[in-house]
Amino acid sequence: MRHLFKTPLILMIISLLCSGLMARGPVDRQALRKSAAVSTSRTLSNISNWAYWMYDNGLAGIDPTGNWGGIYPRGTMGSIYQDGFVYGGFVRGGGDPELRVGGMTYSNGMLGGWVNGTGASATPVDPNDARVRMYRIRADWATLGPTQVRDEAAEAFLVSSGSVTESQIQDIITQYKTDWIEWPVDLGAPYVDANDNGIYDPVLDGDGAADPTQGDYPGIANADQVVWQVINDFNNTTALDLYGSPSMGIEMQITTWAYDQDGADLGQIFFKKYKLINKSAFTIDSMYVANWADPDVGAAGDDLVGCDTSLSLAYAYNGNAVDPNYGQFNLNPSVVGYDFFQGPIVETGNPADTAVFDLKKVSGFKNLPMTSFGWFAAGFNDIGDPPLHEYNGTIAWYNLLRGFIPTTNSIRDKAPYTVGNLPLSSGGVATKFPLAGDPVTSSGDIDGGANNTLAPGDRRMVLASGPFSLPPWEDLNGDGQAGSGDVGVQEVVVAVVGGTGSDYLGNINVMKGIDRTAQELYNDLFRSVPKPPPGPVVTAVPQRNSIVLEWGSDLSAVARTENSGEATGYLFEGYNIYQLPAPTSPLSEAAKVATFDINNGITKISQRGVFIPALGDTGTVVVQSGADAGVQRFIHLTRDYVTDNPIFPGNTYYFAVTAYNYNPNPTLIEAKSLESSAIVIDGGIIARDPNPGRVYGSSAFSTLDVNTDAVSSDGQVEVLVLDPNQMKSADYQIFFTEVTDTAAADYGSTYWNLSRDGATVLSRQSQLANLTDGEDQAIVDGLKVKVSGPPVGINTLLEGPFGDDPQGLSGGNGWNWDNGDRWISGRAAGGETFFGGGFNGYNFFGSSLTGGTDFVDVEIRFAGDTQANQPDRWSRGFVYRRDQSYAYAGVGDIPFTAWDTENNQQLLVCFVEDANNGNDNLQWDMAWNATDGTYAADGGREYIFITNIPYGTGPDPSDPFFTAKNILNDAGEFPVLYAIWPDQRGTRPYLNEAFDLQIFASNVNTPADVFSFSAEGPSYSENLASAEVERINLFPNPYRGDNPQETSKFERKITFTHLPEKVEIRIFNVAGQQVRLLEKNAPSQFLNWDLLNESGLPVASGLYIAHVDLPDLGRQKVLKVFIIQRAEILDIF
């Protein structure tokens, strides 16, 4: 899901006013740097349902304003205030003190940068070196557009999604490209070794970017987003500032990766791999590592923590069913967990043991699990934070690392945690895994439980693993990289897991279920990661009372979405369109507007293993509901599906389009369907008139006139306008090409093509049988072109004698009769015409005729008397016997003649007799019995075959083409136009009356047919733009502490409307002082003011003057602005 993001400066003020609600750390927390531009000293992992801050010196989990830096679900509320990584052990021979710890918590013992050399020659790089920065890549960086990164830009620049500028979006996209090109593999950044030769040898494009289709490329674990950085603890002053320990000589490479599937299990997780390299000259003995976290699940003062030893998992959850901060988003408080997916590696000597290192299996080793869990609480003297900046903090941390309470007296003073926090003197049981009970069932040792009386509060938690020894690094394979097989290298992978649902305790089980899913993928080393289809690239076309969404114009994006998943078995299935009440709303609150899915019999898709709060357990639920509606890549919206009202001008609407897939037999995970992220289009769409001065050649969802002067076919064309902004003033032609290569699989097929001013813009497009048959056409220049060609053979689109297929009768179209009382009918056998008894020859027994131009209109002139009395209506034809396996039987008499009416030529006819079902009298009569006035059942199965061979003098019994062939087995050699399975009509007798029966052939589209149309692109009228100046206004005015368009309690804004492309707005107070300058040079007619002054502080309530300057029009306008700021009311005090 996608949401509106915090306005940072307002949050800073609220954080000061409402400190009881905000996340809090120690008072002397290290200050964080801010940036007004896209920064390479900090970044986020934010492609999943997490938004997680990280910095080039190793700090993480805290945002630049000093508040939550782990937001989950993304765009809502924080669940992590700050987290970090701590390591400790004995540095043997490196001087006193030997016992040291390093890493980062509220303070930081690390600086950015790598270390050149080892041992005595080890030298850390200057942290101000240009290559010391955050590197972040996306696998889809080359195809990114504004929709995909709008929310990323909002998070990076700490603004709302609706306030993101085009330049900010482009900054994000450009940085992705830069980081892909500059990905520092030489420094240790991971890459995909496509040829598995252990060397990074990419194939570069013209920009110097690695081409994933040609060779090696940046990335890890099939991830969609990867962040990489390198830090070290070589600066002794910095190291001492953490917990009073000198440097330990560690270089740490941190790789963070995540997956773009925020609605699926894997999207609730991101992974952090810490690679520790001992670049000192000394061995670190009895070493431990730990992930430390200060989780603040919403409000900071009401949390609880716990652990699950079976999963190597530590987690934090809310102590109450409702959290005031999560409640702002109509959410129950989430759960956050940390899992040691891969602990430190230790040698066992047993070749049957297997460990994981660098996502590869290593025999003779094993990975240590979580060997202890620890917790402490702010303001709780018995178990509190280790003291910063002093060596007592080192002692406390080494005790924590080994699974003991963080006492500061001595490492020999090993005070254990106890079950229920009960003192040993009172019978308490020592444990290295306190709080390992189950809060969901209220069983075992749980935080805040009956035996654990400490109230919910501001908790910290630590999951640790060890001990192991870390000698100085030796590059044993000589590749210059610290990796598998080298000594002096350790690697730990931690997964950060979120869980959210409808119950604050049930979310614990949700989180654990997600954790198990991720573990399955990790056990497979992420070699085959099931993913949703890439999300569609959606364009919104707002109008005054409607909105058009289309995602079919980017043909390469369509291909990426709909051709995805073959490697994992998750194939594209359809699109969902949602409307959300607000950009912060979860999909559970959205209205599903439509589903456009493949017509393949797959409708409802169920999934096992989904946690159902009402059951308190997992079960099977329907996750997708298609209707076999067919794929469509646009929608015309005229209704607000949230309020069930019309679309009103000036209102903002929040729509999202997702793609989903289907795998009937998944192997790695339970999910049968995965859905792409629901990205709110453009951060919200305002229904409105065109921008000032903008003149459309056609309105959205109108159709263009099509010229058919050069068309002789029965084909039809519809040109639908979807996006007037993309239209071009041009002349278009639709022309046809036929496949003439006899070796081609589609030999004989005819495709349509589209040209613009003589240049082909679409080619080899399939024709529809009818314009109503489908809506999945490509969109070009804002136009969707539909082309139908009547079906080859019988023209089933031509209305029949009883209207257009009355009462649903099969085969009602494509035929007629006249000039007499028809005495035969068609057998209802599924044929294309004549009540189901008339067939194209190729659909009956078969035929050599399959091309569209092979077929002609035929009239069958039936006799109403004997051959002697009506000789001109009788003919002769070849006869085949059904009871003799359709072998040739001779030449017989036929009471009709068949004519090609387009060329006025009589045609040769064959028919079938069956002695077992009728008679074998060499006369076509449907086994008529004149005595009792009846026919044989099923018309005696005396099938009629009308060929395209001229009748001439009639059938020649010596012609081996007919006499030597079997009409069934050799059907593909017979040039049969049409076949009829006849039947009697009511009680009418044989030869009742002469009549004529017509079968009509389609006039198919051929290369001789050319449809044409013209389009007019948008234009700009300065006169209209100038006239619009009088409509320039702002909303709301006055501002009374609230704006219906604000989507968060932290957001303040008023919106200037009806603006031209270029504008400058200066806002003055009543004293004439300029308080803010706003500038716009973009097509949008709207510009928001966040009610901040130039210093980033909220303006005071009062009257302001807005001077609007329109330089391109040479016009100005002055507006009065009344502002009444809302009062800040504390939720908790």
200 CB contacts (<8 Å, ≥6 apart)?
185, 191, 193, 216
Apex 540 CA angle, 704 and 168, nearest 5? 135
Apex 1106 CA angle, 1103 and 1107, nearest 5? 145
**Is 151 part of a structural domain of the chain?**
no
Residues 994 and 1025 in one domain: no
Q: Report CA 225 to chain centroid distance, whole Å.
A: 14
**Overall size of the chain counted in residues:** 1133
pLDDT in tens, 100-157: 999 999 999 999 999 999 999 999 999 999 999 999 999 999 999 898 899 999 999 9
Enter the pTM of the model.
0.79
Amino acid in position 57: N
Which of 495, 549, 731 lies closest to 658 in space, CA to CA?
Answer: 549
- On the question of pLDDT at 36 being above 80, the answer is no
- From 999, 1031, 1055, give the residue that closes a domain: 999
pLDDT in tens, 1079-1121: 988 888 888 898 999 888 899 999 999 999 998 888 889 999 9
**Is 193 part of a structural domain of the chain?**
no
Give the CATH number of the domain where residue 1062 resides: 2.60.40.1930
The stretches of 259-403 forming alpha helices (DSSP H) are 324-327, 392-401
Residues 130 and 260 in one domain: yes
pLDDT in tens, 948-997: 999 999 999 999 999 999 999 999 999 999 999 999 999 999 999 999 99
Residue bearing the bigger pLDDT, 85 or 743: 85
Q: What is the mean pLDDT of residues 311-328?
A: 94
**Is 261 part of a structural domain of the chain?**
yes
Residues 768 and 883 in one domain: no
Residue 746 banded pLDDT, cuts 50, 70, 90: confident
**Is 424 part of a structural domain of the chain?**
yes
Residue that the structure tokens 């929040």 belong to? 654
Q: Domain residues for 1072?
A: 1019-1124
Which of 914, 968, 977 lies closest to 941 in space, CA to CA?
Answer: 914
**Torsion angles phi and psi, residue 752, rounded to 5:** -105, 155
- What was the pLDDT predicted at 35? 44
- On the question of pLDDT at 29 being above 70, the answer is no
Cα separation, 521 vs 708, whole angstroms:
58
- What was the pLDDT predicted at 774? 86
- On the question of pLDDT at 437 being above 90, the answer is yes
Structure tokens that stand for 768 in this block = 């529809």
**Torsion angles phi and psi, residue 496, rounded to 5:** -100, 120
Structure tokens that stand for 162 in this block = 């609706």
- What was the pLDDT predicted at 453? 67
Cα separation, 282 vs 164, whole angstroms:
51
- What was the pLDDT predicted at 17? 33
Hey, is 1042 helix, strand or coil? coil
**Is 146 part of a structural domain of the chain?**
no
Q: What is the mean pLDDT of residues 389-413?
A: 95
Hey, is 591 helix, strand or coil? strand
Residue 203 banded pLDDT, cuts 50, 70, 90: very high
Total number of domains constituting the chain: 5
Q: Are 655 and 649 in contact (CB under 8 A)?
A: no
- What was the pLDDT predicted at 215? 95
Q: What is the mean pLDDT of residues 383-389?
A: 93
Residues 499 and 548 in one domain: no
**Is 166 part of a structural domain of the chain?**
no
Residue bearing the bigger pLDDT, 27 or 151: 151
Q: How do strand 875-881 and strand 905-913 relate by DSSP bridges?
A: parallel
- What was the pLDDT predicted at 28? 34
Give the CATH number of the domain where residue 592 resides: 2.60.40
Residues 550 and 512 in one domain: no
Cα separation, 324 vs 333, whole angstroms:
9
Extract the runs of DSSP E, i.e. beta strands, from 145-212: 191-192
Q: Are 809 and 827 in contact (CB under 8 A)?
A: no
pLDDT in tens, 563-615: 998 889 999 999 999 999 988 788 888 999 999 999 999 999 998 766 665 55
- Around Cβ 1023, how many Cβ atoms within 10 Å? 8
- What was the pLDDT predicted at 1021? 86
Residues 253 and 370 in one domain: yes
pLDDT in tens, 336-380: 999 999 999 999 999 999 999 999 999 999 999 999 999 998 877
Residues 939 and 1079 in one domain: no
- From 968, 999, 1030, give the residue that closes a domain: 999
Residues 967 and 1053 in one domain: no
Residues 41 and 81 in one domain: yes
Top mean pLDDT of 81-90, 449-458, 618-627 is at 81-90
- What was the pLDDT predicted at 23? 40
**Is 702 part of a structural domain of the chain?**
no
- On the question of pLDDT at 416 being above 60, the answer is yes
pLDDT in tens, 480-517: 899 888 999 999 999 999 999 878 999 999 999 999 99
Residues 322 and 464 in one domain: yes
Residues 786 and 812 in one domain: no
Q: What is the DSSP letter of 1046?
A: -
Please provide the DSSP assignment of 950-997 as one string: E-TT---TT-HHHHTS-TTTTGGGS-EEEEE-EEE-TTPPTT-S-EEE
- From 468, 491, 523, give the residue that closes a domain: 523
- On the question of pLDDT at 165 being above 50, the answer is yes
HSE toward the beta carbon, residue 807, CA cutoff 13 A: 3
**Is 209 part of a structural domain of the chain?**
no
Residues 446 and 585 in one domain: no
- What was the pLDDT predicted at 1026? 84
- Around Cβ 90, how many Cβ atoms within 10 Å? 21
- On the question of pLDDT at 24 being above 70, the answer is no
Q: In the predicted model, what is the mean pLDDT of the chain?
A: 91
Q: What is the mean pLDDT of residues 937-955?
A: 97
Q: What is the mean pLDDT of residues 55-77?
A: 95
Cα separation, 132 vs 368, whole angstroms:
32
Burial class (CB in 10 A: 0-12, 13-18, 19+), 959: exposed
The percentage of the chain sitting over the pLDDT mark of 70, rounded to a whole number, equals 94
- What was the pLDDT predicted at 1096? 83
